[in-house]
Chains A and B, each alone.
Chain A
Amino acid sequence: MKSRFILLLLIMTGLVVAFAPLPVQPNAPQERTFRVEAGQFAYSPSELKVNPGDLVAIQLVSTDVVHGLYVDGYDISIEADPGQTKTLSFVADKPGSFRFRCNVTCGAMHPFMIGKLIVGSNNWFIRSIGLAALATIGVIVSVKQKT
């Protein structure tokens, strides 16, 4: 009976950790411009951080061959020829961590040419730490109960 109650408690807490809204710091939306250089097979800078609601402009500059930039989750992309600059503008209205990747075959390591866009805080990572900690505590409690 007691172990069932603990299990139920852990599941309920897990649901709260996974789905409860996290506190957000209110920031007035800003215009954020990044110059991102793309060369085989990396972006520089490779990590971009913005606040939710920001109007983001990514100026993609290709330094060698044709490269692209596709943002996971936002499903938007841009391509730039060597030496050219193309701009991708969007409102960062989805919080979280998103990978951006080259969407033009640019050489052998093309599938792994990846960068990271972080909008606000990486909520999924924060929640996942909570869930992993909860899972660990849950199993340890069950070990202690049995001994």
Chain B
Amino acid sequence: MSKIELTRNPFIKNTLKSRYPQLAVFIVMLVGYIFAILAGLLGTPVGSHNFSIVFVWIAWWGILILVAVPFFGRGWCAVCPIPLPGEWLQRGAVLSPPDKRPKWLNLRWPKALRNIWLQNISFLLLALFSSVLLTTPNITGIVLAAMLFAAIGLSTVFERRSFCRYLCPVGGFIGLCSQTAPIELRIKDKQVCVTCDGKPCYNGSQSGYGCPWDVFPGGLTKNTHCGLCMECIRTCPHDNIAINLRPFSDDLAKPSRRIDEAFKAFIILGSAMIYAGVLLGPWGTLKDATYNVGTSTWFMYVIIFLAMIFVILPGFFALGILQTKSILPLKQRFASLTNSLIPLGLMFWVAFSLSFVLTNASYILAALSDPLGLGWNLFGTASAAWQPMLTSILAPMQILALVGGLIWSARTAQKAANEARTSSIPVIVYCFIVTLVMLWLLV
């Protein structure tokens, strides 16, 4: 299947070029985000009746994992409200570039931190407290507020969207998985970029801002760090930027050899497996251990969680590929072949989220009418009863997701192995084994 340029359609192109449609969505998202913070801090402590828990961890998470990431990659980042206040402050404008920009520090992000290790750490930090975070409204409120203020703070010190690019706990996850999405932003003709004066897509111009994600679109070959903010479509004087529809996981045919991204793949895979066991399993002792933060059992959980992600999963993976021959040294082969785990990791999260979201989605109606749990009934749905949805077809859907993910990853492993001139069979067998574990946990 070849690529289809969506921006050839004048309606799509004009909608993306104009700042107003995106601003309208931004404002709705920002209002919702601030309301989620307030609901978390001021509303009922009962999570299943509080807007912050229900809309963030059920509605938003469900849409993100089941729709946005698989089909639109970083589509969520294009409308995420977290960087907005900081960015507006940094730019001194809400819409087009102003004549005079405010004088913030505008520093370059430190070179040693230009990777996704901080995102790996921030994701793991949230993951280790996830039982509390997912169920306690005021903790969710505090974390959402902390992310907003961190983004504002970083915008006044560092240039562009440093928070999104290097710190956002969800950003690294979405970025890596966005490589599987059937949508991309790319240049049309490389030569046009080579001869372009001033590179306004990266440096900015009167038409728009330089890439907020610190990416030069002319060199873009993967979705990982492109936030789909559409700024380069506005600034390119040669109409050389396109949004394309493409085959799924096109980026993974050219695997990355970055070790920070390799470990992100294990974080995605491992955390889905741990959550499936802890949150959806029948083991009460495990649930207690994850919820009672600071106790000895919680520390045991932390050790097991980190060992699983940094030792057990990568250890078995490395052992599997150790004996294979390749033109690449082991470290590069390890990083390169790890890319194959990304589709499986995404599908692990899809299978986990299906169970979590479908059984709890009915809380959305009640929380819509009574978002703070104060006895309101704004839309007449406050007394909507809890009712799990589609539980009779949940298992087949999860099997479809997991076996589909296994095939997807195995096929990706074939391509990655061809690149590294090595055998894909150890990776395929590894994918099979972890899929069996996930099937046992979920089905």
Give residues in A with beta carbon < 8 Å to B: 39, 41-44, 46-47, 70, 72-73, 75, 96-99, 101, 103, 105, 108-116, 122, 124-125, 127-129, 131-133, 135-136, 138-140, 142-143, 146
Contacts of B356 in A (CB 8 A): 111
A129 touches B388 (CB 8 A): no
A143 touches B360 (CB 8 A): no
Residue among A43, A70, A136, A140 making CB contact with B284, cutoff 8 Å: A43
Confirm or deny: B128 has a beta carbon within 8 angstroms of a beta carbon on chain A: no
User: In the complex, A44→B285 CA distance in Å?
Assistant: 11
Known: A41-B284, A125-B443, A135-B403. A103 touches B386 (CB 8 A): yes
Confirm or deny: B432 has a beta carbon within 8 angstroms of a beta carbon on chain A: yes
> Could you tell me the distance in whole angstroms from the C-beta of A81 to the nearest C-beta in chain B?
18
Q: Please give the number of chain B residues whose Cβ is less than 8 angstroms from any Cβ of chain A in the complex.
A: 49
User: In the complex, A142→B99 CA distance in Å?
Assistant: 60
Confirm or deny: B309 has a beta carbon within 8 angstroms of a beta carbon on chain A: no
Q: List 10 A-B contacts (CB under 8 A).
A: A46-B282, A111-B360, A124-B443, A128-B403, A129-B436, A135-B406, A139-B407, A140-B428, A143-B414, A143-B428
User: In the complex, A131→B403 CA distance in Å?
Assistant: 7
User: CB-nearest residue of chain A relative to B432?
Assistant: A136
Residue among B136, B282, B424 making CB contact with A43, cutoff 8 Å: B282
User: In the complex, A108→B47 CA distance in Å?
Assistant: 7
Residue among B392, B402, B410 making CB contact with A128, cutoff 8 Å: B402
Contacts of B215 in A (CB 8 A): none
Known: A124-B443, A129-B436. A101 touches B399 (CB 8 A): no
Q: Digit string of B45-75 for contact with A (CB within 8 Å is 1, else 0)?
A: 0111100000000000000000000000000
> Could you tell me the distance in whole angstroms from the C-beta of B419 to the nearest C-beta in chain A?
14
A108 touches B403 (CB 8 A): no
Confirm or deny: B395 has a beta carbon within 8 angstroms of a beta carbon on chain A: yes
Residue among B280, B285, B291, B435 making CB contact with A108, cutoff 8 Å: B291
Known: A131-B403, A133-B432, A140-B428. A42 touches B287 (CB 8 A): yes
Confirm or deny: B295 has a beta carbon within 8 angstroms of a beta carbon on chain A: no
A109 touches B402 (CB 8 A): no
User: In the complex, A96→B393 CA distance in Å?
Assistant: 12
B392 touches A132 (CB 8 A): no
> Could you tell me the distance in whole angstroms from the C-beta of B131 to the nearest C-beta in chain A?
7
User: In the complex, A85→B68 CA distance in Å?
Assistant: 45
B131 touches A109 (CB 8 A): yes
Extra contacts, 17 of them, besides A110-B48, A112-B135, A112-B278 (Cβ < 8 A), are A42-B288, A43-B282, A70-B388, A108-B132, A108-B291, A110-B135, A114-B280, A114-B282, A116-B282, A124-B395, A129-B436, A136-B406, A136-B432, A138-B407, A139-B414, A143-B414, A143-B424
B48 touches A125 (CB 8 A): no
B440 touches A105 (CB 8 A): no
B411 touches A139 (CB 8 A): yes
Contacts of A98 in B (CB 8 A): 391
Contacts of A108 in B (CB 8 A): 47, 132, 135-136, 291
For the complex of A and B, the 7 pairs showing the least CB-CB separation, nearest first, are: A42-B284, A46-B282, A72-B391, A139-B410, A108-B135, A124-B395, A136-B432
Known: A43-B284, A72-B388, A124-B396. A132 touches B406 (CB 8 A): yes
User: In the complex, A60→B268 CA distance in Å?
Assistant: 37
> Could you tell me the distance in whole angstroms from the C-beta of A116 to the nearest C-beta in chain B?
5
Q: Digit string of B372-415 for contact with A (CB within 8 Å is 1, else 0)?
A: 00000000000000101001101110010011001100110010
